[in-house]
Amino acid sequence: MTFDEIKSKLKNHTIGIAGAGGLGSNCAVALARVGIGKLIISDFDIVSESNLNRQYFFRDQIGQKKVIALKENIKRINPEVEIITNDIKLNEKNIVEIYKDCDVIVEAFDLAEMKKILIETCLSELSEKPVIIGSGMAGWGNSNDIKFRQNENLYICGDEKSEIAVDNPPLAPRVGIVANMQANTVLEILLAK
């Protein structure tokens, strides 16, 4: 497929991004660059200085709502992408309402508790929908431990073991690998259609 053919396929699709932190911001930017049609991005947080070691925000955006700042950054890269933002904390109820019409959902939370809520809600109420999870990416090095596998409609990206801790923080390189692996999986699903 040429890039023009790829873009013309991607522009008809909608991707849900659940969380606009390290995974969500980088995955959304990658999808915008290749010409995805529409992104539905949800996050309740604001940009802080500690986010800048891995998240797609700029120093002068500290204090802004993440969804607003991310929309602005994506528009500067590709103004063609339609972006719906929800400044909201996701839960079992609103996940279904917000993401039910997406072609694929990208799980992009920080906390394992939230990852679990999203996955369980999708498995029980949106079971036909592909969900791409990021799990295990803290620290540095060990690139070969980061892998991809599919379990029915769940697609799992990450090393599935490196948990964040004070002495094992999430950092741009490994978080970026996983975020881009999630974006790459979106393409794999959409371009196979």
Minimum distance of other proteins from residue 87's CB (angstroms): 18
Q: By rule CB under 8 A, what string of x and - marks binding of each residue 18-37 to other proteins?
A: -x-xxxx-------------
Residues near 5 by beta carbon (within 8 Å), at least 6 away in sequence: none
The distance of closest approach from Cβ of residue 191 to other proteins in the complex, given in angstroms and rounded to an integer, is: 25
3-state secondary structure of 22: helix
H-type helices in the chain, by residue range?
Answer: 3-10, 22-33, 66-77, 92-99, 112-125, 172-191
Where do the DSSP E strands lie in 28-70? 38-42
Is the Cβ of residue 79 or residue 141 nearer to other proteins in the bound state? 141
Report the residue from 35, 37, 130, 158 that binds other proteins according to the rule CB under 8 A.
158
161 is an interface residue for other proteins by CB under 8 A: yes
Whole-angstrom distance, CA of residue 89 vs CA of residue 110: 13
Q: How many other CB atoms are found less than 10 A from the CB of residue 169?
A: 14
Two structure tokens written together for 63: 């204090």
Nearest to 8 by CA among 39, 40, 37: 37
Does 163 sit near other proteins (CB under 8 A)? yes
The correct pick among 4, 76, 79, 151 for binding other proteins (CB under 8 A) is: 151
Candidate list 156, 177, 189, 190; residue touching other proteins; CB under 8 A = 156
Is 176 one of the binding residues for other proteins (CB under 8 A)?
no
110 binds other proteins per the rule CB under 8 A: yes
Q: How far apart are CA 121 and CA 137, in angstroms?
A: 23
What SS3 state is found at 102? Answer: coil
Taking the complex as a whole, how short is the minimal distance between the CB of residue 7 and other proteins, in angstroms?
28
Contacts of 59 (CB under 8 A, 6+ apart): 49, 52
Q: Which of 16, 37, 134, 176 binds other proteins (CB under 8 A)?
A: 134
**Binding-site member from 160, 187, 188, 191 for other proteins (CB under 8 A):** 160
Q: How far is the CB of 163 from other proteins (least distance, A)?
A: 4
Interface residue list for other proteins (CB under 8 A): 19, 21-24, 108-113, 115-116, 119-120, 123-124, 133-138, 151-152, 154, 156, 158, 160-164, 170, 175, 178
